[in-house]
Amino acid sequence: MEVLLRNQVAIVTGASSGIGTGIAKSLASAGATVIINHSSEKSKDEAQKVLGEIQKNGGNGMVYQCDVSKEDQVVKMFSDVISEYGTVDILVNNAGIQKDAKFIDMTLEEWDTVMGVNLRGHFLCSREAVKEFLRRGIDTTRSVACGKIIHISSVHEIIPWAGHANYAASKGAIKMLMQTLAQEHGADKIRVNSICPGAIQTPINKDAWETPEAMNDLMKLIPYNRIGQPEDVGNLAAFLASDLADYISGTSIFIDGGMTSLESFSNGG
């Protein structure tokens, strides 16, 4: 059974590092042309490196700078990609940030910044993707679905996280956005799902795995007793974007080594 995404164009937001890079590589390996979105000049070199690795392995794509919290930039990104490649088949809303603080110390700026990228970005990109899917309609030479949207959420869409109220709230909201889109556009044959990673070994959570002590503490939360890798999420994203997953829509899939079974309660709490 082979995951095939040939002739399809995928936009992956926040793809210059971490989980986004893993997803971009997996989609490219499955045959998709991948747009590697990054947010600023600061991340341009990393994005170019990802594209270089994809091309070295026989894949295709391009790098595109866009702050997904800015409406004009998102609209332009979709317009430019459609002008270049004809359409968009797959959107992976991966871009996300953390601005952590105790709740009583959290500033409005910290709240709004996280919501801007983590939630508004998903809204803006999804809106433009759905518009394009509906404009193009179903093309069975590409996919049996009209279009596919994958939101990268988190185990924290269901697990509260003290000190991270803005982040957890944004991920809980993504769940409702995803399910509502799947409901509203299911008859249009647009599939919408979320991937909810647990602990994945990326720079954003370096403090949780950098030292042996930190890693040992982390393993107390993961029954499977290993930390996840970006390619774990990437492989799931490639499957969800393919026709093999055509009857999957409106659901959150947790990829967490069993973290949501709450390992801390394995001995009765």
Catalytic residues: 167
Q: Rounded distance, CA 36 to CA 21, Å? A: 8
Other CB atoms closer than 10 Å to residue 192's CB: what's the count?
28
93-129 burial code (b ≥16 CB/10 A, e <16): bbbbbbbeeeeeebeeebbebbbbbbbbbbbbbbebb
Q: Tell me, what amino acid is at 255?
A: I
**Nearest CA-CA partner of 251 in 175, 187, 148:** 175
From the number of C-beta atoms within 10 Å of its C-beta (0-12, 13-18, 19+), residue 268 rates as exposed
Residue 14 contacts residue 121 (beta carbons within 8 Å): no
